[in-house]
Amino acid sequence: MKDKMAVPLFALLAVCVDVSAVMFIGAIQLSPSFINNTFILPWAGGLLRTCLLLFVSFTYPGSPAWMRGFEGVQTAVVHGLVYPVYISFLWACDRPIVELVWGWHTCQGLLQGYAVLALSLLLWKRHVPTLLPTAKKEKTEQKASLQRLLGYMKPFSGRFAAVFFFVVISSLGKNMCWVIHINETLLFNCNNISKYYCNSKHAVCEFVCDLIYNITMSRIHTSIQGLVFQSVLKQDIAFFDKSSTGDIVSRITTDTNTMSESLSEKLSLLMWYFMRVVFLLGSMVLLSRTLTFFTVLGLPIIWIIPEFSGQFYQKLSKQVQESLAKANDVATETFSSMKTVRSFANEDGETERYRKCLEDTYALNKVEAAAYAASTWTNSMSSLALKVSILYYGGRLVTGSDVSSGDLVSFVLYELQFTSAVEVLMSYWPDVKKAVGASEKIFEYVDRKPDIPPNGSLAPQTLKGHVQFKKITFAYPKRPDTDVLKNVSLELKPGQITALVGPSGSGKSTIVSLLERFYQPQSGKILLDQTPLLEYKDQYLHEKISVVSQEPVLFARSVQENIKYGKENASDEEMSAAAKLANADDFILNLPKGYDTDAGEKGGQVSGGQKQRIAIARALIQKPQILVLDDATSSLDTESEHRVYSALRKELKNCTVLLITHRLSGVENADHIIFLREGEVAEEGNHEQLLAKHGFYEEFVNQQNTSIHRNTGDVTNSSQ
């Protein structure tokens, strides 16, 4: 009951306080010698009413919650200031205000004020919530993106101040030239030479201004592009599993280009036209306040349409960008797998896939074009309506002798310039919104926090390279329900070669990914020299652990640059020593330009086996403490493989070597063998111990031997 009465009691209290305040102000106004300025009392009274209502709302315990928030402040402001604003508005239009100035605190005035407040509250509650929920989140996002964009401009605030200075000077000068020209035209005294002289001075200012502006904007563009690139590189490996290359490339190139194009070209024009609008407005005010006021009143009508179309464009621009990224993705994938495409003669299939993506973009572009045409048409129609109503209203003012016919003609000429400048502003506004839309997508990457634990701080001088996996369970982020490793415990000892074998898909490479800290296990611990792997510095870890993967990727650079990748300061002697260890030196020297031969994109200009040997040399030049060879010799012939392993055995005596292979030749001589099956350690020991168990390993050895015999049999048969 008490709660039910709280709100009516609050309303009663608020009304009592308000009525007392109004009566108090009324009494002051009626005392003859007090203040006789027309505006001071209405404004002071309005502010007092606002403050009192706010005071009651925030201090009375039963006031509704909304009255203590932003909505309450708005209500108090409307309630208190509706009269002073209305009185000032009438005064600006040269309308009689005496009655209102003396009558606003009467009973009738008070009731009118409450009616306006109730009506505005009703409209606010009725319409705004339907507009807000969808728009609110987007609006805050847009605002945040805009603030971010402005943040990138901040370091160049000096340059922007210079640009602003030139814009003001040039626009002011231009406006003056134009006013002189209009007057001369009206007086039939047009002097083209003076007009040319007048304008040429400002053209210099314009040139300097555009130069500074464009140089600064391209600087900002490159820095944003660099930032996005850097942010992408910092992401976790799971991010790259999820995002396609085309999408990433598209954000770095297309999206930043769209954004900077809109910002540099269109924003600069907006600036110029905005200044023009300001100066023209000044000239119009000097001619007739009433007509200017009337013109400004009509502006929201021509503002609303571009505002809505701008929001529409922003959404559309995001969709266009996404669809372009898809098309990019198809193109990147096709070109990077050109040999596979050609060997399956699937050029037409890929073309069709690309065409479909482009068609989606085209469909969106069509909507964009239609929206653009519609908004341009509505813009010009609404500004035409404004011009016609000004002429009509101006005509009435001339009839009533409020404005002279000469002033009306000049005003109309100014107004024509003014509305066309406003029209240009409106037509470029969607482009700026488009830039904000594009920037939102860019900032999604910049803001993405990589899902990796913070970098550790350990970087000890010496590292033994003793690795322990303790009860590791792991599922890939993309397939969180499938455990790839289940309670795996294993040990890699320094100075030993540990071989990891098992059927395809049993989780061997996953163990390497965890060792490289690409992913984090869901449970269990990985220790390096008895210390959790997470405590080591990322760079240190990758210097100490070298991995040669199943499909090593070479860069489209020389063989030399590929071997020295990640250790650019290595000497040529170190490079050739690493190449000799990898049994690569001989074939490299036989290449057309030796170590300077280009390896081609993804190593496409060398054979599979050569690629693997270059990759092994690249790993060895780092002088790693832990070397992982993940099926790294699968493309080598048995002789070359044997040579590589013997060299490694001789040279890497203290190193921890993890060997993942499907070939028996590499496994037999390993110090320790771990057999992995369906994500679990099934057996471990050395070759002899495991054979004695007659288990999975023996089966693996038998399979290998059978396949060797089958192969030799095939060869013998074919030679017969």
Ligand X SMILES: Nc1ncnc2c1ncn2[C@@H]1O[C@H](COP(=O)(O)OP(=O)(O)OP(=O)(O)O)[C@@H](O)[C@H]1O
Where along the sequence are the contacts to ligand X (CB under 6 A)? 241, 476, 478-479, 484, 504-510, 550
CA distances 172 to 62, 177, 428, 614, Å, are 56, 9, 22, 67
Burial class (CB in 10 A: 0-12, 13-18, 19+), 506: buried
Nearer to ligand X, 508 or 613 (CB): 508
The rounded Cα 259 to chain-centroid distance in angstroms is 11
Cα-Cα end-to-end distance for the chain: 107
Name the minimum Å distance from CB 442 to ligand X. 26
Shortest distance, CB of residue 454 to ligand X, whole angstroms?
23
Closer CB to ligand X, 364 or 488, in the complex? 488
Question: CA–CA distance from 354 to each of 343, 348, 350, 377 (Å)?
Answer: 19, 10, 6, 34
In the complex with ligand X, which residue's Cβ is closer, 148 or 486?
486
- Comparing CB distances to ligand X, the nearer of 202 and 508 is 508
Quote the least distance from Cβ 552 to ligand X, whole Å. Answer: 14
- Tell me how far, at minimum, the Cβ of 658 lies from ligand X, in Å: 12
In the complex, least distance from residue 520 CB atom to ligand X, rounded to whole angstroms: 14
Give every CB contact of residue 5 below 8 A, 6+ residues apart in sequence. Answer: 62
Q: Smaller CB distance to ligand X: residue 149 or 676? A: 676
Least Å distance between CB 507 and ligand X? 4
Q: CB nearer to ligand X: give 461 or 482.
A: 482
Q: Are 80 and 46 in contact (CB under 8 A)?
A: yes
Question: Rounded to the nearest 5 degrees, what angle is found at the Cα of 448, between the Cα atoms of 445 and 449?
Answer: 150
Q: Whole-angstrom Cα distance, residue 28 to residue 42?
A: 11
Q: Nearest 5 degrees, angle CA 340-CA 342-CA 344?
A: 70
DSSP 454: P
Q: Judged by CB, which is closer to ligand X: 554, or 660?
A: 660
The nearest distance, CB 679 to ligand X, in angstroms, is 7
Whether residue 671 contacts residue 686, with contact meaning beta carbons closer than 8 Å, is answered with: yes
Closest distance to ligand X from the beta carbon of 630 (Å): 7
State which H helix or E strand residue 472 sits in: strand 467-474
3-state helix, strand, coil split of the chain in percent (to 5) is 70, 10, 20
Angle at which helices 267-287 and 192-233 cross, to 10°:
140
Sheet with 523-528: list strands edge to edge. 485-492, 467-474, 523-528, 531-532
Between 235 and 510, CB nearer to ligand X? 510
Cα–Cα distance, 24 to 146 (Å, whole number): 47
Q: Rounded CA gap, 577 and 572, in Å?
A: 9
Taking the least distance from each CB to ligand X, the nearer of 184 and 678 is 678
Least spacing, CB of residue 509 vs ligand X, in Å: 3
